[in-house]
Amino acid sequence: MTTVLDLSTLEVIIMCSLLCSTDVIAAVSLIKPEKQPKLFSLVFGEGITNDAVSIILFNTVVEYSRKNKEFTAQSTMTITSEFFVLGFRSIMVGILFAVLSALMLKGVRALTKTPVVECAMIFSFAYIAYVLAELWHLSGIITLLTCSVMMANYTWYNMSP
């Protein structure tokens, strides 16, 4: 038996599942980052990842529902593959911009003369990665998260003392 869900019903179902998902705001508010920085980072990162995965899944299902196809067992596989492609592309954009920022700071030493220019460049690269991911209908949150983790590992070592 196949059923066809209209866009409004599908959006209501997905929004309800997003709103009912557990959120880590209460847990994060109880943890003092000064006393337990690692625990704070883990809980905060888990919450961001949960939110990002929910947003990617929501966007994937809404995009699939706009095609006005019947929802069958094969639809699940299509949505799953689109979910992974969207996530992979978002991660790749974040990695690309983090590597570009690291190479830019390493190669163009004129940018490392003042901390203000360095910070502005790092924020600009991360923001451009986020904006381009959103313009390309990818997940800006996953892109920004990936970009920031990669920048912490690679761009940080190319900054001036």
Domain locations in the chain? Answer: 7-158
Q: SS3 string of the chain?
A: CCECCCHHHHHHHHHHHHHHCCCCHHHHHHCCCCCCHHHHHHHHHHHHHHHHHHHHHHHHHHHHHCCCCCECHHHHHHHHHHHHHHHHHHHHHHHHHHHHHHHHHHHCHHHHCCHHHHHHHHHHHHHHHHHHHHHCCCCHHHHHHHHHHHHHHHHHHHCCC
pLDDT digits (tens, 9 = 90+) for 15-72: 555 555 556 666 777 778 888 888 888 888 777 777 778 778 887 777 777 777 777 7
Residue 112 pLDDT: 75
pTM over 0.75: no
pLDDT of residue 92: 96
